[in-house]
Amino acid sequence: MILVDGSLGEGGGQVLRTSLALALVTGKPFRIVNIRAGRKQPGLLRQHLTAVRAAAEVGGGRVTGDALRSCELAFEPGPVRPGRYEFAVGTAGSATLVFQTVLPALATAPGPSELVLRGGTHNPWAPPLDFLQQAFLPVLARMGPEVTVNLVRPGFYPAGGGEFHVSIRPAALAPLVLLERGEVLSRRARALVAGLPAHIAERELKVVRGKLGWPPEALVFEPIDGTFGPGNVLMLEIRCEHVTEVFTGFGQLNVRAETVAARAVDEARRWLASGVPVGEHLADQLLVPLALAGGKFRTVRPSGHAETNLAVIRQFVDVDASCTEIGCDVWEVEVQPA
- Residues annotated as part of the active site: 305
pLDDT in tens, 46-99: 999 999 999 999 999 999 999 999 999 999 999 999 999 999 998 878 999 999
Fold of 83-171: UDP-n-acetylglucosamine1-carboxyvinyl-transferase; Chain (3.65.10)
H/E/C letters for each residue in 31-54?
EEECCCCCCCCCCCCHHHHHHHHH
Whether the pTM exceeds 0.85: the reply is yes
Alpha-carbon distance 202 to 191, whole Å? 8
Which residues contact residue 254 at a Cβ distance below 8 angstroms, ignoring those fewer than 6 apart?
none
The CATH superfamily assigned to 184-272 is RNA 3'-terminal phosphate cyclase, insert domain (3.30.360.20)
CATH entry, 1-81, from 3.30.420, 1.10.3470, 3.90.960, 3.30.110:
3.30.110
How would residue 227 be classed by pLDDT, with cut points 50, 70 and 90? Answer: confident
Please state, for a pLDDT cut of 70, what percent of the chain lies above it.
100
Alpha helix (H) residue ranges in the chain = 14-26, 46-59, 95-107, 129-131, 137-142, 199-212, 257-274, 280-293, 304-316
**CA-to-CA separations, 253 to 57, 222, 230, 263, in angstroms, rounded:** 37, 20, 11, 15
pLDDT in tens, 254-263: 999 999 999 9
Residue 222 pairs with which residues in a beta bridge?
Answer: 192
Ordered by start, the domain boundaries in the chain are 1-81, 83-171, 184-272, 275-338
Residue 253 has pLDDT above 90, yes or no: no
Assess whether the region 1-81 and the region 83-171 belong to the same CATH fold. no
